[in-house]
Amino acid sequence: MSKKFSFELLKIETNTKARLGLITTGHGTIETPVFMPVGTQAAVKTLTPEELKENDTSIILSNTYHLFLRPGNKLIKNMGGLHKFMNWNGPILTDSGGFQVFSLNKLAKIKEEGVYFNSHINGSKCFLSPEISMEIQQDLGADIVMVFDEPVPYPSSYEYAKNSNEMNSRWAERCKKRHSEENQALFGIIQGAMFKDLRKQSVENIVEIGFDGYAIGGLSVGEPKDLMLEFVDYTAPLLPEEKPRYIMGVGTPTDIIKGILCGIDMFDCVLPTRNARNGTLFTSEGKVVIKNSKYADDESPPDPICLCYTCRHYSRAYLRHLFVAQEILSSRLNTIHNVYFYNNLMKRIREEIKKDSLLDFYASVQRSAGRDQEDKQIQ
Amino acid sequence: MSKKFSFELLKIETNTKARLGLITTGHGTIETPVFMPVGTQAAVKTLTPEELKENDTSIILSNTYHLFLRPGNKLIKNMGGLHKFMNWNGPILTDSGGFQVFSLNKLAKIKEEGVYFNSHINGSKCFLSPEISMEIQQDLGADIVMVFDEPVPYPSSYEYAKNSNEMNSRWAERCKKRHSEENQALFGIIQGAMFKDLRKQSVENIVEIGFDGYAIGGLSVGEPKDLMLEFVDYTAPLLPEEKPRYIMGVGTPTDIIKGILCGIDMFDCVLPTRNARNGTLFTSEGKVVIKNSKYADDESPPDPICLCYTCRHYSRAYLRHLFVAQEILSSRLNTIHNVYFYNNLMKRIREEIKKDSLLDFYASVQRSAGRDQEDKQIQ
């Protein structure tokens, strides 16, 4: 379908379902498993594109809903598209806007034709449909675009989820029909709430339509983590092996590894960037909550084995000072570290998959996460 | 007095009082006239030290008052001093804390021994004196430190200004006596409010004590601009020719050039960094208020002839979007541009002084400023 898009499955780990792959787009290649930092409003908060690259980012995600409302997709199209507008020449994935329409607009009205809602910025009446979402994403010019769907809320009744599933299939068909941009890959999204037969039905419907990749949606929406992973583990093997698999909005380092062990290739989450601004650093020794007074005169870097710019030049004491003094540089330096940490976690995971040793690595990450829990009990 | 500090007066313009000089410190040399970006809380807001250097910053100013209160001078000393703490290995000037004590604490009580005040952060009782200010600045380890004085408010009665002048002379003596750090230059400050005989008296008293450089204080504190410049023009020629001259808290590009024409060598001001965060960019064509809707689809860079990172990579449309969307990257990109603009203004001024043509350049800058006024009338 898309001339410039391809996915090569390089390897499946011998003792797990973890996969190694390579995505090719018109703006460069992406080694999978990959984490995509989130640039909601045409910027990964606090960072320049150069910093994203220096910290091993190979693809970013941007939000159709936000850019549709502000500054507007037509404006971005007239400015030469999203890549040029934001000075990022690597691959971009845009979501469809569906998730934000529902999460930011509690009064959104769903009809067969699309969704009516009020802008969370100025209250103005808005409408999004499969066709309009495709058009917006085409204007933005992302390398990978997503079908417009309804992410079924948690919890949902079986009947609601079944009806939504059927509408989502019709919407996916409309997206496929409207999608005309040869240089954009189009991914379908599997829904079906927490019902296995509906998940299976969704896979059958969406795969039947045929897409360049498949996302598992409607997860990480408030359900218990075990349930989320149960459904990832159930759904992923139903998907075609030769297409990339993406789980949206996940997650913590351990959740990402669990997803990879289920055969997922792509992840995105605001966690590393948002936590950075809130002063929480992911490190090889677990989370560092930088405002804690124990770091006030700590001369060591946030993570003693990290090679990021922040860890090479700044102490926990300085980072704590910047955070407490509410200096913008605090958000920047923390974001650099967390983005580097996530991207290097993925790099490490890819190396472990090559060696068929991801389970061993997973055990060591779990031990770090366990220390976090102990820390919380102490504080 | 200071082994590592020296000032070389290289030239005085033939047709004005503008001076070209070179300051040498233990952390590098500074070509004068120079502008010092302000790093109040051990950070020039939004920027890394590398960005400061890339944008031609040769010295920064940091605030004793703020660092004394948070994170504390002893902590910074224990972390290896301010240079190491904030990862800036170029020259630093610290003010004495006097200005902030009075401007941030309306109830500060001045006694002969020093000033009693409440922390603006947590209300705790604090005390600063000439000796304590010297000790704090020694702990911070700046290359140039300032005497602790009372900046006389505007307007002040003759009697108040005269008494303050006399106390400031005694305080300056106490600073000189307490100042023991060989690697730190100590600058005296001329006060005397808006009374020429008191300014003259202050110069005599302070120069008699003898310092490595002299600041003209108590200006840019609310008085009319003409009055400020009248007093700069009056006071500067009274100072010893062979020492650097610094006017604190100035200012706009035109005010800086006027100061240079009076024979001033050093300037600092929050204007370029604060205005950047408020969305105002200094350009060769006058000020650009980036939020204005006329820039919404403007593909041109903020300043068409500027070579800074921001102007090389981003459009006014994108910068407007970031500002309106309240993205932190907006503050960063605007700050990079304004710091570059100020530092390059100084570079240009030094070149003009070499060619004895600063007055011609001043006329062209005034024309830009004139356009700003016209813009304001239009808006």
Interface confidence, given as ipTM, is 0.96
Question: Residue B274: inside a domain, yes or no?
Answer: no
CA distance A321 to chain B (A): 6
Mean pLDDT for A144-152 is 95
Tell me: the pLDDT tens digits for B178-227? 998 788 999 999 999 999 999 999 999 999 999 999 999 999 888 999 99
Predicted local distance difference test score (pLDDT) of residue A353: 98
Give me the residue from B296, B318, B333 closest to A85, CB to CB.
B318
Question: Residue B221: inside a domain, yes or no?
Answer: yes
C-alpha–C-alpha distance, residues B75 and B338, integer Å: 32
Predicted local distance difference test score (pLDDT) of residue B255: 95
Mean pLDDT for B343-363 is 98
Tell which wins on pLDDT, A130 or B99: A130
Set of chain B residues whose Cβ sits within 8 Å of the Cβ of A296:
71, 75
Tally of domains within chain B:
2
In the set B212, B255, B268, B303, the catalytic residue is B268
Give me the residue from B43, B71, B314 closest to A296, CB to CB.
B71
CA-wise closest residue to B365 among B340, B345, B344: B345
- With a cut of 50, say whether residue B309 has pLDDT above it: yes
Tell which wins on pLDDT, B377 or A45: A45
CA distance A316 to chain B (A): 10
Across the interface, do A315 and B79 touch by the CB < 8 Å criterion? yes
Predicted local distance difference test score (pLDDT) of residue A3: 63
Residue type, A247: I
Mean pLDDT for A50-70 is 97
Domain's final residue, options B213, B242, B269: B269
Instruction: Assess whether A238 and A366 both reside in one domain.
Output: no
Res. B373 pLDDT band, cuts 50 70 90:
low
- Check if B360 is active-site: no
Instruction: Assess whether A56 and A198 both reside in one domain.
Output: yes
Res. A280 pLDDT band, cuts 50 70 90:
very high
Domain's final residue, options B269, B288, B323: B269
Instruction: Assess whether B299 and B216 both reside in one domain.
Output: no
Instruction: Assess whether B247 and B290 both reside in one domain.
Output: no
C-alpha–C-alpha distance, residues A172 and B218, integer Å: 70
Question: Residue B231: inside a domain, yes or no?
Answer: yes
- With a cut of 80, say whether residue A85 has pLDDT above it: yes
Across the interface, do B313 and A43 touch by the CB < 8 Å criterion? no
Predicted local distance difference test score (pLDDT) of residue A107: 85
3-state secondary structure chain B: CCCCCEEEEEEECCCCCCEEEEEEECCEEEEECEEECECCCCCCCCCCHHHHHHCCCCCEEECHHHHHHCCCHHHHHHCCCHHHHHCCCCCEEECCCHHHHHHHCCCCEECCCCEEEECCCCCCEEEECHHHHHHHHHHHCCCEEECCCCCCCCCCCHHHHHHHHHHHHHHHHHHHHHCCCCCCEEEEEECCCCCHHHHHHHHHHHHHHCCCEEEECCCCCCCCHHHHHHHHHHHHHHCCCCCCEEECCCCCHHHHHHHHHCCCCEEECCHHHHHHHCCEEEECCEEEECCCHHHCCCCCCCCCCCCCHHHHHCCHHHHHHHHHCCCHHHHHHHHHHHHHHHHHHHHHHHHHHHCCCHHHHHHHHHHHHHHHHHHHHHC
Question: Residue B191: inside a domain, yes or no?
Answer: yes
CA-wise closest residue to A65 among A83, A36, A44, A42: A42
Q: What is this structure's pTM?
A: 0.96
Percent of chain A with pLDDT over 70: 97
Give me the residue from B79, B317, B328 closest to A317, CB to CB.
B79
Question: Residue A275: inside a domain, yes or no?
Answer: no
Q: Which chain A residue has the Cα nearest residue B66? A: A325
Tell me: the pLDDT tens digits for A86-105? 999 999 999 999 889 888 88
Across the interface, do A79 and B42 touch by the CB < 8 Å criterion? no
Domain's final residue, options B250, B269, B288: B269
Instruction: Assess whether B81 and B219 both reside in one domain.
Output: yes
Predicted local distance difference test score (pLDDT) of residue B46: 98
Res. A277 pLDDT band, cuts 50 70 90:
very high
Res. B376 pLDDT band, cuts 50 70 90:
low
CA distance A38 to chain B (A): 13
Across the interface, do A45 and B318 touch by the CB < 8 Å criterion? no
Q: Which CATH number do you get for residue A48? A: 3.20.20.105
Question: Residue B308: inside a domain, yes or no?
Answer: yes
Instruction: Assess whether B217 and B355 both reside in one domain.
Output: no
Instruction: Assess whether A259 and A338 both reside in one domain.
Output: no
Mean pLDDT for A190-211 is 97
Say if strands A144-146 and A125-128 run parallel, antiparallel, or are unpaired: unpaired
Predicted local distance difference test score (pLDDT) of residue A377: 43
CA distance A268 to chain B (A): 20
* pLDDT, averaged across chain B: 95
CA distance A297 to chain B (A): 7
Across the interface, do A296 and B75 touch by the CB < 8 Å criterion? yes
Question: Residue A274: inside a domain, yes or no?
Answer: no
B contact set with A (CB within 8 A): 41-43, 45-48, 70-71, 75, 78-80, 85-87, 296-297, 299, 309, 313-315, 317-318, 320-322, 324-325, 327-329, 331-333
Mean pLDDT for B306-331 is 98
- With a cut of 50, say whether residue B1 has pLDDT above it: no
Q: Which chain B residue has the Cα nearest residue A121? A: B325
Instruction: Assess whether A36 and A184 both reside in one domain.
Output: yes
Domain hosting A233: range is 6-269
Instruction: Assess whether A252 and A284 both reside in one domain.
Output: no
Set of chain B residues whose Cβ sits within 8 Å of the Cβ of A313:
87
Q: Which chain A residue has the Cα nearest residue B299? A: A79
Question: Residue B1: inside a domain, yes or no?
Answer: no
Mean pLDDT for B98-106 is 86
Instruction: Assess whether B367 and B245 both reside in one domain.
Output: no
Predicted local distance difference test score (pLDDT) of residue B339: 98
Tell me: the pLDDT tens digits for A149-162? 998 889 999 999 99
Across the interface, do A318 and B41 touch by the CB < 8 Å criterion? no
Mutate to test the interface with B, among A44, A45, A48 (most CBs of B within 10 A): A48
Instruction: Assess whether B201 and B293 both reside in one domain.
Output: no
Helix, coil or strand: residue A8:
strand
Predicted local distance difference test score (pLDDT) of residue A369: 75
Tell me: the pLDDT tens digits for A296-348? 999 999 999 999 999 999 999 999 999 999 999 999 999 999 999 999 999 99
Across the interface, do B313 and A87 touch by the CB < 8 Å criterion? yes
Percent of chain B with pLDDT over 90: 88
Instruction: Assess whether A97 and A177 both reside in one domain.
Output: yes
Across the interface, do B322 and A47 touch by the CB < 8 Å criterion? no
CA-wise closest residue to A12 among A241, A347, A248, A346: A241
